[in-house]
Amino acid sequence: METKVVKIEEQIIDESALESIKEAGQILKDGGLVAFPTETVYGLGGDALNPESSKKIYAAKGRPSDNPLIVHIADMEHLDKIVDKVPESAIKLAKAFWPGPLTMIMNKSDAVPYTTTGGLDTVAIRMPSNKIAAELIRAAGGYIAAPSANVSGRPSPTVAKYCIEDLDGKVEMIIDGGQVGIGLESTIVDLTVEPAMILRPGYITRQMLDEVLEQVEIDRTIIDNNSNLKPKAPGMKYRHYAPKGQLTIIEGDSDKVCDYINEQAAAAKAQGHKVGIICTDETISAYSADVVKSAGNREDESTIARELFKILREFDDEKVDIMYSESFDDNGIGQAIMNRLLKAAGHNVIKL
C-alpha cells in the first residue's frame, strides 16, 4: 500500500488543511487507517464502530488482539452512543480535563464492537485537545479507535518521522503535525470500579484527579515494581517502549549517579559498545560517552516527559547499544515518566 504523508500545522488549520483532513476522514469512513497527532503521542486511527477497522489496526501494529483500543471522540454529545450509562464521575472529570490527556473507562454500549474493546464489556474513551485530531474525528463520523502509532513494543511516536518509520506501507495516510506537546500517553482511569482506579499514570496526575473525585486508587502494579502482579489495563502487561539497546536506570545521590554512570560508560566503551546517557540540563556537562542527551529540566519535569520517547528512538537511530539513565522523582508527572522508563529498561535498575 502507498502511504500518503500530509503536513498540517495545528495552529494553521486553513482551507487546504481542512481538505486533507476531509480526505483522511473519508479514508476512515471507508474502513482504512490514518495515523495522526494528538497532544500525547501520535495515534493509529481506524473507525471505532467498524469491527474490520480494529482488525486492521491490530495487524498494522503487530498487536495482540486482547489489548483493547481507546475510542477518541471530539464532542460530549457523542459519548451517550458508545457508553451504557454515563457515570456522574465521568461528567465531572470531563468538565475538568476534556478535551485533554485523560482516558476514562466505562461500560460499553452495543454500538462498540468487541474487536475494538479486545472482548471486554468496557470501553476506554478519550477526547483529545489537539485541533487536528478533533477535526479528524468529526470528519470520520465521530469515533476513532487509536492506539499509539508505533509497532507493538516500540516507544510511542512523538514526531511523525517515527510514525513513518513504523507504519509506512501499512496505513493509507499519515498526518504530520510536528512534535507533540506532552509526549507520554494519556492517564487512564477506570470508572467501572469503586473507587475509581488509575490504570496508567500520565500528565493528569493522581493529585489532579483527587481534586475532582472523592477518592482515587492507583493500580498497585504501577507503583509496586513487582512483575508477579497482573496489571488491570491489558496493555500494561506487554513489554513496552523498548529501545533496541540495553537500558539501565541508576538511582541515588546525583553526584554518585554521575560518577557511576561515567565509570560504567567508559568500561562498556572499552569493550567495544556504543554508549548513550539520558540525563538532565542540570547534569549534562558532567557526563562523557558516545551520545549524551538531556531529556529536559528537573525544575519542570514536563520537559522530560516531552523528550523521553524521542530520545529512546534517537538512540536506536544512532545505533547505541548500551544506555544509562538518571532516575526521576516518583510523584506528579514524574510517576508517568518513571513508569515508562522502567518498562523501557525492562525494570533494570541499580540503586546506589
Residues found near Mg ion in the complex (CB under 5 A): 148
Closest separation in Å from C-beta 68 to ligand TXA:
3
Residue position matching grid coordinates 509526549: 183
Contact partner, 47, from ligand TXA, Mg ion, none, Cβ < 5-8 Å per class: none
Closest separation in Å from C-beta 244 to ligand TXA:
19
**Interface with ligand TXA includes 233 (CB under 6 A)?**
yes
Closest separation in Å from C-beta 80 to ligand TXA:
18
Closest separation in Å from C-beta 240 to Mg ion:
7
4-7, strands of its sheet edge to edge: 4-7, 173-176, 34-36, 43-47, 144-145, 70-72, 122-126, 102-107, 187-190, 196-200, 216-218
**Interface with ligand TXA includes 41 (CB under 6 A)?**
yes
CB 281 within 8 A of CB 294: yes
**Interface with ligand TXA includes 276 (CB under 6 A)?**
no
- Give the nearest residue (CB) to Mg ion: 148
Alpha carbons 91 and 72: distance in angstroms, whole number? 16
Closest separation in Å from C-beta 200 to ligand TXA:
6
Instruction: Give the closest residue to 32 by CA, choosing from 6, 20, 50, 16.
Output: 50
Long-range contacts of 51-57 (CB under 8 A, 24+ apart): 51/113, 51/114, 51/115, 51/116, 53/28, 53/145, 54/113, 54/115, 54/116, 54/145, 55/115, 56/31, 56/32, 57/33, 57/145, 57/146, 57/147
**Interface with ligand TXA includes 236 (CB under 6 A)?**
yes
- Give the nearest residue (CB) to ligand TXA: 235
Closest separation in Å from C-beta 264 to ligand TXA:
32
**Interface with ligand TXA includes 146 (CB under 6 A)?**
yes
Closest separation in Å from C-beta 222 to Mg ion:
15
Interacting stretch for ligand TXA, rule CB under 6 A, among 227-235, 280-288, 304-312, 343-351?
227-235
Residue 87 or 234: the one with the smaller Cβ distance to Mg ion is 234
Binding mask 54-73 for ligand TXA (x = CB under 6 A): -------------xxxx---
Please state whether beta strands 70-72 and 144-145 pair in parallel, antiparallel, or not at all (unpaired). Answer: antiparallel
Contact partner, 8, from ligand TXA, Mg ion, none, Cβ < 5-8 Å per class: none
Residue 54 or 283: the one with the smaller Cβ distance to ligand TXA is 54
DSSP for 274-303?
Answer: -EEEEE-TTTGGG--SSEEEE--BTTBTHH
CB 278 within 8 A of CB 352: no
**Interface with ligand TXA includes 123 (CB under 6 A)?**
yes
Alpha carbons 65 and 47: distance in angstroms, whole number? 16
Residue 1 DSSP code:
-
Interface positions with ligand TXA (CB under 6 A): 38, 40-41, 43, 67-70, 103, 105, 117, 120, 122-124, 126, 146-148, 185-186, 188, 199, 233-236
